[in-house]
Structure 1
Amino acid sequence: MSDAVTFRGFGEKALPFLKALGFHQDRDWFAENKALYEAEVKTPLGDLVEAASTRFAAEGVPLRGSRKTSLYRVYRDVRFSKNKDPYNTHASALMTRTGNKKDNGFVYVHISNERSFVASGFYALEGPELRALRDLIVREPDSFRTLLANMAAHGFDLDRSEALKRTPRGFEDVDDEEMIGWLRLKHFTFIDEIDNAIVTTPALLERMVSLGTISMPFLTFGWRAIDPLREEAPA
C-alpha cells in the first residue's frame, strides 16, 4: 500500500449510480455501466480504506485494510435469500487489526442513498466470544462504564436497536439494571450517521479516522475478552 493514496471523496455519480442500480437489477445493465461503478464507487472506496489505513498507522491505531481485502462485493449472495436481486445498492468496507473482514473489532463504512454511516465496535460475535465479552463486563463494570462515558463525551452511545428482551442465559443473577441493559445487547457498536453531502468530499475520511481513534479504548477492552479464545483455538 502506498502512502501516496489520497481520498478525495466518492464520485458525484456514485449515489445516482447506486440508486439506478436499485431499479436496474439486471446483469446486462450492470455490464454496460460497470466502468462507471469502478470509477465512481469502487475505486474511491478503495482509496478511502487505504488512506484511512495510512492515517491509522501514523497515529498508532491498529486497524488496517486494503482495496483487495476490505471492500464488500457489489454482487449479492442470493443462495439463501428470498430476494434474488443480484446487486447490492450500497458500498461498504471493513477495517480490522488483520485487514481480514472475518476479524472482529472494526471500523466499518457504509454508503447508500437510504443511509450512510461509519461504525465501530463488535458485531455478530460467535457464541463463546460474546459470552467472554459479557463475562468481562460483569467482572469489570467500572471500566466498561468509564469507556462508555468516554464515548458519550464524544457524542456516541452503544447502538441498542437489536437488544434482547431477556437477560441471556448464565447471567440471571445479575440485578443491576444498567448492567442488565449491557448484557442484553447482541452487538456492541457505535454509529456515526453521515450526511450524504460529505460523501463526495475528503470529510468522510476524517469522520472514519476520528471514530476509529476515539473507539480504540473500547476496542482494546473487547479484544482483551476475545483474544484468549483465539489463542486457544486449534491451528
Structure 2
Amino acid sequence: MKALVNFLNDLRENNNREWFNDNRKRYEEAKEQMLFFTELMIQEIHKFDESIPLIDPKDCLFRIFRDVRFSHDKSPYKTHMGSFIARGGRKSELAGYYIHIEPGNSFLGGGIWRPEASVLKAIRTDIYNHPDSLKEVINDVGFKKYYPSIEGEKLKTAPKGFPKDFEDIDLLRYKSYTFGLGLDDQTVLSDNFVNTAIDAFRELSKANRYLNHALDMWK
C-alpha cells in the first residue's frame, strides 16, 4: 500500500488541480493499488459471506473527486480512498464492508451508514422484536476484539413509534448501525495487513448477517 499512502500524503499537501494533473500517473497507480486490494477483499469475504458476489471492484470504489457545490471547503479532491463491498457495490442499501485508506486516519468497518427511513425502521423493528439477536453479536468476544461498540449519532430519546420504556431502547436510538476498526499507517503498510483485514471482516460478517436478515424480514 506504499504508493497509495504516499500519494494521499502528498495530495493532502497539494490539493489543487494543477498538482493533481501533474501527478496523474501516480494517482492512477494509487487507484490501481486500491482496486487490487478491494478485489482481493471481495474474493476473501465471499468465502465466509456468500451474500457478497464476486463483483467488479470498480463498482465498490468511491470517486476521489469531491462535490464542492454546497461546501465551504472547495478542495477538489478527497484525501482518502474508500471502497464499500456489498451486493450492489458502493450504492447498496445493504450492510457491507468498508475500506478507508487515509494517512493517519485509516480504518476498516461496515454495517449500514445513514440509511433511508424505511431501512432504519426495518432494523429498529427487528431489534425491538428480537433484541437478544443483536446483543449476541455485539457482545461476542471475537467481535468485540475488533468492534467494541456501535458507532455514530444517536437520537436523544426513543424513535417515533417505539415505547420509551423498552428495556433496550438505547439500541434503537442509533441513526446508523456501523462498526469501525482504526488503523495506524504502520499496520496499513505492514506485510500482515491483508490478514488483519480478512480477520476483521470475518468478525464483521456477524453484524452484517444480522442487519441484512433484519431487512429481509421487516422491510
2:59 alignment counterpart: 69
Measure how far apart 1:228 and its partner are. 5.3
Structure 1 counterpart of 2:172, from 176, 180, 183 = 183
| Corresponding residue number in structure 2 for 1:124 | 114
Shift, 1:192, TM fit: 1.0
Q: Which amino acid aligns with 1:115?
A: N
* Equivalent position of 2:76 in the other structure: 86
Deviations 1:54-104 (A, max 9, x none): 112333443354332111111111122221110000111110023343332
2:44 corresponds to which residue?
Answer: 55
Structure 2 residue identity aligned to 1:207: T
Q: Does 1:44 align with 2:38?
A: no
SS in 1 for 2:119: helix
| Greater helix proportion | 2
The Cα offsets for residues 18-51 of structure 1, whole Å up to 9 and x where unpaired, read as 2221232221110110111221x21111011111
CA contact (8 A) 2:83 2:98 kept: yes
> Distance in 2 between the 1:208 and 1:103 partners?
22
Which of 174, 184, 190 in structure 1 is aligned with 2:165?
Answer: 174
Counterpart pick for 2:129 among 139, 163, 184? 139
Contact 1:46 1:66 in 2 (8 A): no
CA–CA separation in structure 2 for the residues paired with 1:108 and 1:133: 19
Q: Which moved more, 1:43-52 or 1:197-206?
A: 197-206
Instruction: Give the equivalent residue in structure 2 for 1:162.
Output: 153
1:31 corresponds in structure 2 to 21
SS in structure 1 at match of 2:83: strand
Q: State the distance in 2 between where 1:125 and 1:160 align.
A: 14
Change (3 A) 1:196 1:164: same
Alignment-derived partner of residue 6 in structure 1: none
Partner SS for 1:97: coil
Length, aligned pairs only: 217
**Moved segments of 4+, more than 6 Å:** none
DSSP-derived class of the 2:108 partner = strand
Unaligned runs of 5+ in 2: none
Q: Percent identity?
A: 27
- What SS does the corresponding residue of 2:132 show, helix, strand or coil? helix
Provide the rounded CA distance (Å) in 2 between the counterparts of 1:206 and 1:161.
Answer: 27
- Give 1:14 shift: 2.9
Cα deviations by residue, 1:133-166 (Å, 9 ceiling, x for unpaired): 0010010012121111125553423334422222
Q: Which moved more, 1:22-31 or 1:43-52?
A: 22-31
Compute the displacement of 1:229 (Å). Answer: 6.5
Task: Look up the match of 1:193.
Answer: 182
After superposition, the CA RMSD in angstroms is: 2.1
| Residue identity matched to 1:225 | A
2:134 and 2:49 mapped to 1: Cα distance? 22
